[in-house]
């Protein structure tokens, strides 16, 4: 009804009478944080104790946002200040302890702040990729339910669930790309741990908090959760790596590069950036904003790394 009234008003008075109507409800200059991780590779420690893989930065920027690196080992007050300055955050893939690492402790702070903010009417989205999905499951369940899976270096088609078509994550996918997700190996998997469908469904906290959008089977037939989204909260997780489809090129790794793989990567980054547009946090000053952006750092070319380009801190 409201849309019909709006259409009649526009027809009678013209669009020029409402030049800012569509701009009032979205953030035109979203900024998304990427959580850094500890550097465990001895050969890379000389560059920095923590890092962010450059493909995640490119992935977000390609959909129309700017990026802030979220450093580790900051105080709770510093993390809270960052939270109220950015419009969303990504917990990236990698290798960190899901309870004791500085990565996990910082992620927990943002998770708790986002829960509290949403309950107060403040929409703050979180995205977890690979390790990030696993961390979201631990934060929600309050325990580690992961199991070993034979799922390293393999591209898979998704087994989409009935919930996928109406999900926030996939509902705007073009029909041909959505169908391709089911039929083509468009998702790169690089993980040796997963949360099994059985463990997910048997845990009341997880099953009430997230909807399973897709599953997969590892090489030995173990069925694991590969895509999930919050039923109420704007929290999203993929066990696979959409950023690699466009930004990683090592020949010995199962990075999907087909036209549909590229489209999947773009549509998901576009989705999450648009989620961040619903948030209106901002830095207190332009100078503070500019000093915090990833532009202040340069990625290092590291041929020995699986990421090729890495930001070190």
What are the DSSP calls for 261-284, one per residue? HHHHHHHHHHHHHHHHTT-----S
Q: Has residue 93 been placed in a domain?
A: yes
Q: What is the pLDDT of residue 41?
A: 85
As a whole number of angstroms, the distance between CA 128 and CA 181 comes to 19
Q: Has residue 186 been placed in a domain?
A: yes
Six-digit token string for 298 = 């340069």
Domain assignment of residue 68, given as a range: 30-312
Q: Has residue 286 been placed in a domain?
A: yes
Q: In what order do the strands lie in the sheet with 37-38?
A: 37-38, 50-53, 308-312, 300-302
Q: What is the pLDDT of residue 297?
A: 97
Would you give per-residue pLDDT tens digits along the chain (313 residues)?
545 444 454 445 454 444 444 446 899 999 999 999 999 888 889 999 999 999 999 999 999 999 999 999 999 999 999 999 999 999 999 999 999 999 999 999 999 999 999 999 999 999 999 999 999 999 999 999 999 999 999 999 999 999 999 999 999 999 999 999 999 999 999 999 999 999 999 999 999 999 999 999 999 999 999 999 999 999 999 999 999 999 999 999 999 999 999 999 999 999 999 999 999 999 999 999 999 999 999 999 998 888 999 999 9
As a whole number of angstroms, the distance between CA 203 and CA 193 comes to 17
Determine contact, residues 38/74, Cβ cutoff 8 Å.
no
Stated as kind and residue range, the H or E segment containing 69 is strand 66-70
Six-digit token string for 105 = 């402790």
Q: Has residue 150 been placed in a domain?
A: yes
Q: What is the pLDDT of residue 71?
A: 97
Q: What is the pLDDT of residues 38-75, one digit of tens each?
A: 998 888 899 999 999 999 999 999 999 999 999 999 99
Q: Has residue 19 been placed in a domain?
A: no
Using CB atoms within 10 Å of the CB of residue 245, give its burial: 0 to 12 exposed, 13 to 18 middle, 19+ buried: buried
Q: Which residues pair with 120 in a beta bridge?
A: none
Q: Has residue 20 been placed in a domain?
A: no
Q: What is the pLDDT of residue 42?
A: 84
Q: Has residue 167 been placed in a domain?
A: yes
**CATH number of the CATH domain containing 302:** 3.40.50.880
Determine contact, residues 28/273, Cβ cutoff 8 Å.
no
Q: What is the pLDDT of residue 24?
A: 60
Closest C-alpha among 240, 233, 54 to residue 140: 233
Domain count, the chain: 1
96: left (phi over 0), alpha (psi -120 to 50) or beta: beta
Q: Has residue 23 been placed in a domain?
A: no
Q: What is the pLDDT of residue 304?
A: 85
Six-digit token string for 29 = 């200059």
Global pTM reads 0.91
Q: Which residues are catalytic?
A: 130, 241
């Amino acid at each position: 009804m409201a849309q019909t009234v709006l259409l009649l008003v526009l027809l009678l008075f013209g669009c020029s009478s409402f030049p800012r109507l569509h701009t009032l409800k979205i953030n035109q200059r979203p900024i998304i944080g990427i959580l850094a991780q500890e550097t465990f590779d001895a050969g890379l420690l000389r560059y920095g104790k923590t890092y962010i893989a450059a493909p995640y930065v490119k992935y977000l920027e390609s959909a129309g946002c700017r990026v802030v690196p979220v450093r580790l080992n900051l105080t709770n007050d510093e993390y809270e200040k960052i939270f109220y300055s950015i419009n969303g955050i990504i917990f990236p893939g990698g290798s960190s302890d899901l309870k004791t690492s500085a990565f996990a402790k910082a992620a927990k702070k943002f998770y708790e702040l986002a829960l509290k903010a949403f309950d107060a009417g403040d929409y703050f989205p979180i995205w977890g990729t690979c390790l990030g999905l696993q961390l979201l499951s631990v934060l929600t369940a309050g325990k580690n339910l992961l199991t070993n899976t034979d799922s390293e270096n393999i591209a898979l088609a998704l087994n989409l669930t009935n919930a996928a078509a109406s999900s926030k994550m996939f509902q705007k996918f073009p029909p041909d790309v959505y169908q391709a997700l089911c039929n083509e190996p468009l998702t790169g998997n690089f993980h040796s741990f997963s949360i099994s469908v059985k463990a997910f469904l048997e845990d009341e906290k997880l099953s009430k908090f997230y909807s399973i959008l897709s599953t997969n089977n590892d090489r030995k037939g173990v069925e694991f959760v590969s895509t999930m989204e919050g039923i109420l909260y704007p929290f999203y997780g993929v066990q696979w790596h959409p950023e690699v489809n466009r930004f990683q090129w090592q020949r010995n790794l199962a990075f999907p590069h087909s036209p549909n793989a590229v489209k999947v990567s773009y549509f998901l980054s576009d989705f999450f950036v648009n989620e961040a547009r619903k948030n209106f946090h901002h830095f207190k000053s332009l100078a503070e904003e500019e000093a915090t952006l990833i532009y202040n750092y340069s990625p290092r070319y590291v041929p020995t790394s699986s990421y090729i380009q890495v930001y070190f801190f």
